[in-house]
Amino acid sequence: MSELQSMVDSFLAQKRIAVVGVRTTVEDAANGIYDKFKKHGYQVFPINPKTTEYKGEPCYPSVKDIPGGVQAVMLVTRPEITEQVVRECAEAGVTHVWMHRSAGNSVSDEAVQFCRENGITVIGGGCPMMFLEPDFGHVCMRFIGKYVGWLPKD
């Protein structure tokens, strides 16, 4: 098993996951990821400081505001926001972070380094929809992502 697959399996083994970057104004990658986790039985918490509700669920301004906390955080944000959120993750005791990268990019090298230095397992690229019962499009994106740098190197 590759190191990437091991990290993906570990992330997906967590049952309480926050998705940072959901949006109520447009459909976005974060929204699709949120829906996919929800469909697969995860307890999912939307994070966006600009709204209080998402799809009938409370939407939290930050990871630190989730009652009972979470083990894992999916980031679908601009890299400069990612850097801020991983610091909140460390304060909140989060053990797993995944930074989305495919057509858009949430990865920050500084944030990846911060996670590693603070004991947070980090996936710097790709998308969980490439691994969690992927549709044909995400299978193709996973294949292409290995070659164009959307997925972290093993």
| pLDDT of amino acid 45 | 98
Query: Does residue 154 sit within a domain?
Result: no
Q: Is 133 contained in some domain?
A: yes
Which residues have a Cβ under 8 Å from the Cβ of 125 and sit 6 or more positions away? 99, 100, 101, 107, 145, 149, 150, 151, 152
Percent of the chain with pLDDT over 70: 84
**DSSP structure class, residue 101:** B
Q: Is pLDDT at 154 greater than 70 in this prediction? A: no
Tell whether 23 is covered by a domain. Answer: yes
Look at residue 153 and tell me if it is in a domain: no
Q: How many distinct structural domains can be found in the chain?
A: 1
pTM as predicted: 0.89
Range of the domain at 29: 3-148
Cα four-point dihedral sign 101, 11, 115, 3: negative
Q: Does a structural domain hold residue 66? A: yes
Section 22-48 average pLDDT: 92
**pLDDT score at 147:** 62
Do the domain assignments include residue 56? yes
Is the pLDDT at 20 greater than 80, yes or no?
A: yes
**The two three-digit tokens of residue 133, written as one number:** 């019962």
Length of the chain: 154
Structure tokens at 114: 């911060």
- CATH code of the domain in which 106 resides: 3.40.50.720
DSSP letter at 63? Answer: G
The pLDDT value recorded for residue 46 is 98
| 91 has a pLDDT exceeding 90 | yes
Neighbour-count burial of 148, counting CB atoms closer than 10 A to its CB (0-12 exposed, 13-18 middle, 19+ buried): exposed
**What is the pLDDT confidence band of residue 135, given thresholds at 50, 70 and 90?**
low
pLDDT value at position 129?
84
pLDDT bracket for residue 149 (50, 70, 90): low
Does a structural domain hold residue 70? Answer: yes
Instruction: Check residue 145 and give its pLDDT.
Output: 65
Residue % of the chain over a pLDDT of 90:
68
